[in-house]
Chains A and B, each alone.
Chain A
């Protein structure tokens, strides 16, 4: 992207590689943000899909290696590292989740490690892989799946579906409806209760996904800004401290997403009298 103005460079770097139907009826990649917007709902962000699947498969392979080679007498360094993560997640689940459900701990582990790996793509230099794929003919490439609002909403809506599923399974459809209708003020104020509870219910997946997206998008944008506005021989002075600070942010956001998932699913399992 040499020769482009900073504004062009930045808006180029915050656009996904979108595949969908063009205005004239042909299928292909969108070349501008306007074309991507005109594709509407039937369009797919290929780079988000690729990098999220890539990190997901990476997670499965890495942890599978540790599980397959596990030994009690002579543990490898990688096995100890995996055990550390598993024990941390297991401890958080035991602290925060009071119900009985075998799926919560594996789900939390998957969420934590997967989001961490997706966020970790943020630390790859902004033009490293996008430049290579541009030479290969792809116009855009956004490497961090969690800077795409579609990916974070996909995850938080899955959690939302699990919340409703376990809410109905544990309390029955009547108990679930009663919690929505009678909860803060008693039966006399049914419409008020319904509005309050629905708002707080919808706010959960919304805040979950927007928090992750906002943090990652802001972090990525700062890297892109540094790359766009600072001459190349000075970039490391700003980019390195921000990258070091960002290691804290990406771990914290993965941890918070996992922790809130546990808490929300724990609320869904709680039976009130």
Chain B
């Protein structure tokens, strides 16, 4: 029981941390490239902006899904219920 809780907490921390790390680097590159492109050709800004937001949403989704599942592990852990059912 205790080890399930401990590993769940560890898992939630790793999910949030690694997800945020990857998405942070990714969105940083995305934004810097967008600014570069906008500085080079300001007339393309509306088109670039729409695509940047599309990619931002795609990149953003992965860590947010990870956060949702991490929060599930933290507040409504399904494994403890499984363990309780297993022990009868």
Verify A10–B76 contact, CB threshold 8 A.
yes
Contact of A10 among B58, B67, B75 (CB under 8 A): B75
Which A residues are in CB contact (< 8 Å) with B81? 34
A252/B64 contact (C-beta < 8 A), A7-B76, A10-B75, A10-B76 known: no
List, in ascending order, chain B residues with CB within 8 A of A225's CB: 71, 75
Within 8 A of A (CB), among B37-64: 50, 53-54, 56-58, 60-61, 64
Chain B residues with CB under 8 Å of A249's CB are: 60
B21 in the interface (beta carbon within 8 A): no
Residues A252 and B57 in contact, CB atoms below 8 Å apart: yes
Question: Could you give, for residues 61-75 of chain B, a 1 whenever the CB lies within 8 Å of some chain A CB and a 0 otherwise?
Answer: 100110111010001
Question: Which stretch of A104-112, A117-125, A253-261 is in the interface?
Answer: A253-261
Q: Considering the complex, which residues of chain A in the window 195-226 have a beta carbon less than 8 Å from any beta carbon of chain B?
A: 210-211, 213-215, 217-218, 221, 225
- Complex: A218 Cα to B61 Cα, angstroms: 10
Report if A14 contacts B (CB, 8 A): yes
> Per DSSP, are chain B's interface residues mostly helix, strand or loop, or mixed?
helix
Q: Contact: B65 with A221, CB < 8 Å?
A: no
Q: Is A211 within 8 A of B75, CB to CB?
A: no
Instruction: Contact check, A252 vs B53: say whether CB atoms are below 8 A apart.
Output: yes
Chain A residues near B60 (CB-CB < 8 A): 215, 249, 252
Beta-carbon contact of A218 and B71 below 8 Å = yes
- Contact of B68 with A256 in the complex, beta carbons under 8 Å: no
Question: Which residue from A6, A11, A214 sits with its C-beta under 8 Å from B64?
Answer: A214
Report whether A256 and B65 are in contact in the complex, using a CB–CB cutoff of 8 Å: no
**In whole angstroms, what is the CA distance A228 to B60 when docked?**
26
Q: Determine whether the beta carbon of A214 is less than 8 Å from that of B65.
A: yes
Would B71 and A256 count as touching, CB distance under 8 A?
A: no
A255 & B65 in contact (Cβ 8 Å cutoff)? no
Given the complex, which residues of A lie within 8 Å of B69, measured CB to CB?
Answer: 214
Cβ-neighbour of B54 out of A14, A210, A256 (below 8 A): A256
Q: How far is the CB of B54 from chain A (nearest CB, A)?
A: 6
B11 to chain A, nearest CB (A): 16
Q: Which of A213-272 contact B (CB under 8 A)?
A: 213-215, 217-218, 221, 225, 249, 252-253, 255-256, 259
When distances are taken between beta carbons in the complex, the residues of chain A under 8 Å from B61 are 211, 214-215, 253, 256
**Bound complex: CA A187 to CA B65 (Å):** 38
Assembled-state Cα–Cα distance A215/B59 (Å): 12
Q: In the complex, which residue of chain B has the Cβ closest to the Cβ of A92?
A: B50
User: How many angstroms from the CA of A214 to the CA of B64 in the assembled complex?
Assistant: 6
Do B64 and A255 touch across chains, with their CB atoms under 8 A apart? no
Bound-state CA distance A253–B68 (Å) is: 16
Contact B53 A255 (CB under 8 A): yes
In the assembled complex, how far is the CB of residue A84 from the closest CB belonging to chain B, in whole angstroms?
15
Most interface-central of A10, A210, A249, A256 (chain B CB within 10 A):
A256
A residues near B (Cβ < 8 Å) are 6-7, 10-11, 14, 34, 92, 210-211, 213-215, 217-218, 221, 225, 249, 252-253, 255-256, 259
**Ordered nearest first, which 7 A-B pairs have the shortest CB separation?**
A214-B65, A218-B68, A211-B61, A256-B57, A11-B76, A252-B57, A217-B68
A213-B65, A225-B71 provided; 4 other pairs, C-beta below 8 A?
Answer: A211-B61, A218-B64, A253-B57, A256-B57
B interface residues (Cβ-Cβ under 8 A, vs A): 50, 53-54, 56-58, 60-61, 64-65, 67-69, 71, 75-76, 81
